[in-house]
Structure 1
Amino acid sequence: MTLSGWPADDHVHSQFSWDAADGDLEATCARAVELGLPAVSFTEHLDVGAWQAPPGGWAWRGTVRGSTDGHGRFMSEPLQVQAYAEEVERCRHLFPDLRIRWGVELSEGHRHPVACAEVVGWGFERVVGSLHALADLDHPGQVVEMRGALAQRGVLGTVVAYLDEAAEMAASDAPFDVLGHLDYPLRYWPADAGPVPWAELEERVRHVLSVLAGSGRALEVNTSRPLELVVVRWWREAGGQAVSFGSDAHRPDDLAQRWREVAEAVASAGFRPAADPTALWGRA
């Protein structure tokens, strides 16, 4: 199966992301060519702050400090920018017909303005701004990864706090082009919690989208958990001008997952591809 005529995948990870044990930049490019994608954007994780880690830590590349049992502050392995840039350039020569962008997924950039200033100077072609952590209620002044936030706030409380912080990030000067996975906490929504109460969340979601539209940034439709179509419609009603598609793939086989299904849904919400097939989709 090929996906010619369908969107670029603008949120992809390779071996240069600290949580992508099975990532492979060259193999991902080969997979993109096999599928017929017009472009792929590597958005390797870039985290400039530490997260409160759970007991036992994680099997991710990084260090945990503050406790011998692994319960402490997790700092991810630094992004190897030079090696990453060299691998992108090598793959551009291997796959000349594929548009290969190099970029980063910047976590909580609004909390670290000084550190993020360096990001601008590296010349990334795509920066996805994301939230992966919230304020730690048990450790003032620190942040906790989403699973810890769920334990502290409950499921709905975590979603509400996430949306409030997303609005704050969208209003900031953090250097990102696209707001990534607005529905990230819903990845942890338990089946026994019933359907997501969109009516209860609508006002907050619309506020985030309005602030984001005013900033001139794009909204990502992350296909690892397809964004609810109603949110894409609210994005258009808020004045949103562009939509990005991202599989959030951490291994080559997950590239462009659910692509046709999600692209058709986004088209029905009023967004269309540009004349340049590698560009973001804009308002119809």
Structure 2
Amino acid sequence: MPSTITIAQNSSHPLTVNRLGYGTMRLTGPEVWGEPANRSEALQILRTAIESGVNFIDTADYYGEDVTNRLIREALYPYSADLVICTKVGATRRPDKSWVPFNTPENLRTSIDNNLRTLGQEQIQLVHLRLMGYEGVSLEEQLGAMFEMQREGKILHVGLSNVTRAELEVGLKLGPIATVENMYSYAQRTTLTHAHGHNPGGEEVLDLCEQHGIALIPFFSLLHALPKQLDNITEIARRHNATPAQINLAWLLHHSPWLLPIPGTSSLAHLRENLAAADICLSAEDMTYLG
């Protein structure tokens, strides 16, 4: 099981990172809104993650709003040379805490400039275009704006988030797609439909990502992963003296070398537990048993 992954490996500016990152969404207040309940612990989580070898952090300016970006800057600036901070654009929040598209070319430029300002960067190394529907703005227009800002130097690499297989195929024809960020876990591999829409699953695009050397970044890999009755993962956890959540992360790391999990937490203890999953070695028999 490789311990690192190289993003945009065929580009002139590849980024090699350790294969367990950290997603910051849960550092915010309830419903991904407002300041964290324990600001000092939130800052310590970010510092401990970096001290423990994490060098890939996922954020968005609509987390909070702007809460996680400000926490990252306060905790980690000036940034170490090997740290990759990945953000997302294409959405925003309303005062009622709803999530809505913010994806016209003008919207996307506003979001990129805001991320640059709040993170204190001159260039963002990796930006995911979060697909939230089109509403008169085509995928071609959205990605065109992203690639334009890439040519301007505001963005180093462009990725797609919440993307179907058909959308990824279109994206690949429009320009270099460095990464995909989709919901993916041991128990949730295909599209999840819910009251607010749908989240395409990682399994639907994994083979395409592997063919094109695209890192697939699973999100919500803990939140939706672990119905209590998953006997197989519970048994493997028992054999390895681990938690089911840790086995879920270990399964992702073993399932494909192109997976880069980013488990998030607002607890320092849970952060350490998640990071320990990278040390779990699942045998071929374990993986077969998990299915």
Q: Scaled by the length of structure 1, what TM-score is found?
A: 0.47
Q: Which has the higher contact order (CA 8 A, sep 6+)?
A: 1
What is the TM-score of this pair, normalised by structure 2?
A: 0.46
